Every structure is written in structure tokens, then in C-alpha cells.
Amino acid sequence: MASLQYIFKRLLLMIPTFFLVMVIIFLLVRFLPGDPAIAIAGDRASDADLEAIRNRLGLNEPMLVQFWLFISNTLQGDLGRSILMRAPVTDVIFERFPTTGFLTLYAVVLSLLIAGPLAFVAALNRGNSWDAAIRTVFQVGLSMPVFYIGLILLTFLAAQLRWFPVGGYGETFFVRLHHLFLPAMTVALYTSAIIMRNLRSSIIEVLDAEYVQFSRAKGLSNRIILGRHVLRNAMISTVTLLGLSIGSMMSGTLVTETVFAVPGMGRLMLEAIFARDYPLIQGLTLTFAVLVSVVFLLTDLFQSWLDPRMRLS
């Protein structure tokens, strides 16, 4: 019952968050420079044509009326019709979401595969050459912008060595793994550096705890100590950081998908901003906000499983 109450409390906290996000989305989109009517009809359109487009989009209505229409339509699942794609925004988002979702999940898996083992190696060999080498390499990766890492991988591994395609998404599962390896690795190299440093510090802190020393005094093997005691407790803070990183990955796909020409929601967001496509920008931003909130909810639930004391907070 405590778990259900914890989930219900977290779901209630998401309601004001969504409302605040919708207010911010509505205001920011309205303050974008340019006229969407001109973007649709072109610079040579007559004043009558532009006025007709503004009336059709509701842009001549008072701001409060526009906001009420935005709220009511969104709650009914109607995000409007895209000016750029000339299709319902919901359909456009559902078409592009699998690409961004696959890329984000791919990057998360690579980040964990890179950061997890190396964090253990660095923590168990703290202070020696292995620890220094691992921390130095990750520090270099952490100091470079994501788009710069992507350009380096794209130049050497795709353009020169031709090991990977320079862009695209693919059609089958394994082809997509091949096509999206470079953009996923670009995000993973940066994210894994953050996760590794946090997990290493957590492992060292747990290794110095009294109950770990007591477990060693009882004669338990290192495998049991690391698996049952160290890993679970060290992951608590790392799970929080991983949830924040996943949220950053989703919102940061704009840069990665643009560099690697991946047809996902991030690249679509950039195209919608240049086209001043109000409905599509609103729909994409709201979708990212919902996805990030769901990730944070899952993070809280996983943390409460690792540490039941968190259900009381």
C-alpha cells in the first residue's frame, strides 16, 4: 500500500508541472520572432490571404482565448495541424518518436556498458595508475561539447574509414543499430563520463562503510560483497543522475540528430522553429516534457525499490 501511495503522490506532483510547462510553451512560442502566416503563404502573399490564415489559426484572438483553446484542445488529444508538414501534429510526432526513443535507449545502454565496469575498476584501484588513466580519459570527453564529439566520430569513423554510415536511420533492427551507433556513441561518451565519476565516488564511499568491513570480517567473498552490498547502495545516487541524463539526452537530440541527419523529433524541432510552426513546436515541446516527467517518475520508483526509506519522503 505504501508503494501505491508513493506512486499516487508522484503522479499528483506531475499535474502542476504539466500545467506550468504548457503555460511556458504557449508564451515562448508566441514570442518567437516572425509571422507564421508569412511562413505559410510566402513573402508575396496579399494582406487578405495573410489575414485569412491568421483567422484560421486563431492568431487574431485575444491571448487568453488562444491559451484556453490550446489547453482544451491539448487535453482532448488535439495538438493542431502542422504548418510545415501539413498533417496533424499527433501523427507527425508518432511517426518520429520511435527514432528518438530508439536513439535515446541505445545511448543509455552504451553509457551503462562503458561507465559501469570502468567505475568499478577505478574504484577498486583508487589512487593507482588505472584509476588515474580512466579518470583522465573521461575528463577529456567531458570537457568537449557533444556536437564536437559527433563531428570527430563522423569525420574519422564514417567519412574516412567508412565503418559506419554518415546518416540515416535504417529499416530493420540490426541495420538501425549500425546506422545509429555513431550518434548514440556521441551521446554515450559524454553521459558515461558523468555517470562514471558519480558511480566511482559512490562505490568508494560504500566500500569504506562499516557494514562492508563487517562483511569482509565474516569472510564473505568479494563477489558477494560487491554484488549484494556495494552495487545496490552505490547505485542510489547514480540512478538519480542517470534519470537526469536521460532527460538531457531527449532534449539534446536536437543537436545529435541534426549532425547525423537522423529523422527524429529533435531534428524536427529545429525544422519547426525555422518554419515558425507554432502547433508543431508546442506539440514537440509538450511531448518532450511528458517523456522527461515519465523518466523522472520511473527513476523515483526505481530509487524507492533500492532504498525503501525514500517512500516516506
| 1 band by pLDDT with thresholds 50, 70 and 90 | very low
Instruction: Compute the residue count for the chain.
Output: 313
Domain that holds residue 149: 93-312
With CA atoms as reference, report the closest residue to 203 among 108, 128, 126, 138.
126
Q: Which residues contact 224 (CB under 8 A, 6 or more apart)?
A: 215
Q: Is residue 66 part of a domain?
A: no
The confidence band for 188, taking pLDDT boundaries of 50, 70 and 90, is: confident
The answer as to whether 167 is a domain residue is yes
Does 206 reside within a domain?
A: yes
Going by C-alpha positions, the residue among 141, 140, 119 that lies closest to residue 130 is 119
Among 140, 138, 144, 131, which Cα is nearest to 115's?
138
Domain count, the chain: 1
| Residue with more model confidence, 269 or 229 | 269
Banded pLDDT at 175 (limits 50, 70, 90): confident
CB 189 within 8 A of CB 141: yes
Single pTM value for the model: 0.77
Question: Is the model's pLDDT at 65 over the cut of 50?
Answer: yes
Lowest-confidence range among 78-87, 138-147, 259-268? 138-147
Looking at the predicted structure, is the pLDDT value of residue 179 above 60? yes
Tell me if residue 170 falls in helix, strand or coil.
coil
Q: What is the pLDDT of residue 221?
A: 63
User: SS3 string of 33-86?
Assistant: CCCHHHHHHCCCCCHHHHHHHHHHHCCCCCHHHHHHHHHHHHHCCCCCECCCCC
Report if residue 236 sits inside a domain.
yes
Q: Please indicate, yes or no, if residue 263 is contained in any of the structural domains.
A: yes
Looking at the DSSP bridge assignments, the partners of residue 88 are 81
CB 275 within 8 A of CB 84: yes
The CATH number linked to 283 is: 1.10.3720.10
CA distance linking residue 191 with residue 200, whole number of Å: 14
Instruction: Examine residue 142 and state whether it is found in any structural domain, yes or no.
Output: yes
Is pLDDT larger for residue 104 or for residue 245? 104
Evaluate whether residue 49 is within a structural domain: no
Residue 171: inside a domain: yes
**If we measure between CA atoms, which residue out of 251, 301, 256 comes closest to residue 150?**
256
